[in-house]
Amino acid sequence: MERKEKIEQDINQLINEPLVNDYEPSFDFVDKVMAEVGELENTQPKGKMIQLSFRIAAAVAVIFFLSNGLILLSTWGNSSAQTDVNDWTGIYEQQASASWYEYYNDELFLADNE
Amino acid sequence: MTNDKTLIEQVANGDTKAFKTLVERHHKRVIHICLSFVAVPADAEDVAQEVFIEVFKSIDNYRGDAALSTWLYRLSVNKSLDFIRQKKRQKRGSGLVQVVEQSDLENMSISSKQLPSDQIEEQERKMILHQAINKLPERQKVAVFLSKIEEMAQQEVADIMKTSVSSVESLLVRAKRKLKEMLLTEKEEMY
């Protein structure tokens, strides 16, 4: 029983004491970080230019697709309007009873006058 | 003394000297956090270096809604956990599962004291504790490691973990209970 209490006490102490207390970092840690930062700075402008050119290319591609889409839509609209016109002229060309030149029919004109 | 916020603005405007001041101000604490997790000083310094490089790269994204130290310490925790996961994967690949192996004991300098024989025992005790903490669920593990950093208030731990103080407290209670169970079994086996 006493042994178990001692073990528990030992464990409590172990759990509660700090794990890292007096570790001193290497003297050149800050210099190492700054050296890496320097390297990064030298490479970053290139990276920024690449990023910028990618963005421009993406914007151009979007504009290209949008304008193509608009052109396609407008040509489709025009062609459907054209078919509508064709349908209307078709009615007159068929000489159907509803055709316009019935009104210019001479016989009909005369009959009316009579 | 210039405050962190002003220094960050200066860094964002391309002033690397300001960044050096930030590193000098915070590096010790960041290394201590990393060391708590990874246990090997050389690895801890590598992880801490990664933390500062990440900060430098993403300084423009810092919104300033949390203190710089909180952001830094959160990054340190995440990078350390990534490191542990990576190491675990590597060891699993080579057939070894424990994160801290017996072979790491020589490199493991959680305290920087020289190692006369009486201190070897203390190191060993700490290694056993470290291994036990590593077996805890991730959030409990983070709470325990952070609360073991000197002068780290529970509010700070809660901020780093993006949770409340009461959640941290309950995580710690559960973690300590589990640790006790694990260590008791281990000790009883040793005696």
Low-confidence ranges of chain A (pLDDT < 50): none
Burial (Cβ within 10 Å: 0-12, 13-18, ≥19) of residue B125 = middle
Burial class of residue B62, CB neighbours in 10 A (0-12, 13-18, 19+) = middle
User: What confidence tens digit (pLDDT) does each residue in B1-19 have?
Assistant: 678 888 888 888 888 899 9
8 Å CB contact between A57 and B148: no
For B128, name the nearest residue in chain A, comparing CA atoms only: A14
Q: Is B184 in Cβ contact with A25 (below 8 Å)?
A: no
Give the residue from chain B lying closest to A19, CA to CA: B148
Q: Tokens in use for B30?
A: 């960041």
Query: Which of B52, B145, B179 is the closest to A15 by Cβ?
Result: B179
Share of chain B above pLDDT 70, in %: 83
Q: In this structure, are residues B183 and B128 in contact, taking their beta carbons and an 8 Å threshold?
A: yes
Average pLDDT taken over every residue of chain B: 82
Per-residue pLDDT of B19-75, as tens digits, reads: 999 999 999 999 999 988 888 889 999 999 999 999 998 888 787 778 888 999 999
Burial of B139 (0-12, 13-18, 19+ CB in 10 A): middle
pLDDT mean over B112-141 = 78
User: How wide is the angle at C-alpha A69 spanned by C-alphas A67 and A72, nearest 5°?
Assistant: 110
**B123 pLDDT more than 60:** yes
Tokens matching residue B9: 């603005």
pLDDT score of B30 = 92
Nearest to B166 by CA among B151, B181, B175, B155: B155
Question: Does A20 contact B110 at a Cβ distance shorter than 8 Å?
Answer: yes
